[in-house]
Structure 1
Amino acid sequence: MNLGPWGDLTILAGVMEAVFATGVFVYISRLERRTSHPLGDQIGAHKAVLAKIRKREPLTRDEHDYAAELVADARSPLAYAIPAALFTLGFFYVVGCLYVLHVHGGNPSFRTFIGGIPMFTSINMAVQLRKVAGLGKRLRDAQVVDDRELATA
């Protein structure tokens, strides 16, 4: 059976989506089983802690531990399954539409390429994960201070 290039790409995208969705399920399951850090319950704590690392400001022990957790999560290869699954979903939509147009005739319209939106979004997610993962070097060099020292500074 010859499906043509669009049909073959649609099947490949479907298989890859199943693989990446399994990776997302495993990654999220691991995160849910883990005991969460107390700072993780505070709104905006991750943004504040990562900003301190970027600015090379001193961190408390709790902030350092939380930042180490965030960096470790971003460095996990399974973390990249999330943007990969989103990218593959958009790709599946685009090549699936092109396959249907190939089989039934017609020209691609704007609707055909709506799948590009999650594809671009997933690229942004991967870049953000990479940025957080790259803070590991700065985290190793970060100054850790006692809570009282930081309060008086």
Structure 2
Amino acid sequence: MNLGIWGDLTILAAVVEISLATCVFVYISRLEKRRSHPLGDQLGAHKAVLAKLRKREPMTQDEIDYAAELVADARSPLAYAIPAALFTMGFFYVVGCLFMLHLDGGNPSFRTFIGGIPMLTSMNIAAQLRRVARLRRNLQQVPVKATESDELAIA
């Protein structure tokens, strides 16, 4: 059975998507099973902690621990399965449309390339993950700020 290049690419994209979806499921289930950091429950803590880390501002030990958790999550190879799965979904849509057009003998329309939107989005997600992962160097150099309870214990 000869499906042509578009049919073969469609099947390949479906197989890759299934394997990436499995990786995403494993990654998300690992994140759900672990105990969450107390700062993770506060609204905007993620953004604030990462901003302090980027600027190398002094941070409390809780903030450093939370930042270390965020950086470790972004450095996980399974984290990159999320944008890869999104990219593959868009790719599947594009090559699937081209396969159907090839069978019918039609011309590609704008609808064919709608799959490019999730492909571009996935590249942005991967870039954001990479930016957070690069903060590991800053994490090793961040100054520790004493909390009020630490200051009371010393006095």
In the superposition, the TM-score normalised over structure 1's length comes to 0.96
Q: Partner residue of 1:118?
A: 118
In the alignment, the residues of structure 1 paired with residue 23 and residue 128 of structure 2 have an alpha-carbon distance, to the nearest angstrom, of: 19
Hey, what does 1:14 align to over in structure 2?
14
Tell me which residue corresponds to 2:28. Answer: 28
Aligned to 2:147: 147
Cα distance, 1:147 vs structure 2: 1.4
Partner of 1:56: 56
Q: 1:77 maps to which residue?
A: 77
Partner of 1:39: 39
Which secondary structure does the structure 2 equivalent of 1:115 belong to? helix
Map of 2:66 onto structure 1: 66
Mind listing any 5+ residue stretches in structure 1 that lack a counterpart?
A: none
Give the deviation of 1:145 after TM superposition: 1.5
What is the 5 A alignment of 1:79-94? 79-94=79-94
1:116 partner amino acid: G
Please list, as runs of the form range in 1=range in 2, the aligned pairs for 1:92-103 lying within 5 A after superposition. 92-103=92-103
Q: Which amino acid aligns with 1:69?
A: E
Q: Distance in 2 between matches of 1:108 and 1:83?
A: 26
- AA aligned opposite 2:135: L
**Alpha-carbon deviations, 1:45-71, whole Å to 9, x = none?**
010000001111001000000000000
Identity of aligned residues (%): 75
Give the letter aligned to residue 124 of structure 1.
N
Which residue is equivalent to 2:134?
A: 134
Residue 148 of structure 1 and its aligned partner are, at CA, apart by 2.5
* Residues 73-106 of structure 1: per-residue CA shift (max 9 Å, x gap): 0000000000000000000000000000001110
Q: What is the TM-score with the length of structure 2 in the denominator?
A: 0.95
Letter in 1 for 2:50: L
| Aligned partner of residue 88 in structure 2, secondary structure | helix
Specify every segment of 5 or more residues in structure 2 that has no aligned partner in the other structure, as ranges: none
What is the total number of aligned residue pairs between the two structures?
150
Q: Give the aligned CA root-mean-square deviation in angstroms.
A: 1.2
Quick one: distance in 2 between partners of 1:41 and 1:107? 51
Moved over 2 A (4+): none
In 2: Cα distance, 1:20 partner to 1:83 partner: 9
- Secondary structure in 1 matching 2:56: coil
